[in-house]
Amino acid sequence: NAGVTQTPKFQVLKTGQSMTLQCAQDMNHEYMSWYRQDPGMGLRLIHYSVGAGITDQGEVPNGYNVSRSTTEDFPLRLLSAAPSQTSVYFCASSSTLETQYFGPGTRLLVL
Partner 1 sequence: DQQVKQNSPSLSVQEGRISILNCDYTNSMFDYFLWYKKYPAEGPTFLISISSIKDKNEDGRFTVFLNKSAKHLSLHIVPSQPGDSAVYFCASQIGGNYQLIWGAGTKLIIKP
Looking at the chain, the number of H-run helices and the number of E-run strands are 0, 11
**40 DSSP assignment:** T
Site string for partner 1, 74-93 (x = CB under 8 A): ----------------x-x-
**CA 49 to CA 40: how far, in whole Å?**
27
Closest separation between CB of residue 41 and partner 1, Å?
Answer: 6
Residue 14: helix, strand or coil by DSSP?
Answer: coil
First to last CA, the chain: 36
Q: Which is nearer to partner 1, 62 or 99 (CB)?
A: 99
- Identify the residue among 53, 59, 70, 82 touching partner 1 (CB under 8 A): 59
Residues that bind partner 1 (CB under 8 A): 4, 31, 33, 40-45, 48, 50, 58-59, 90, 92, 97-105
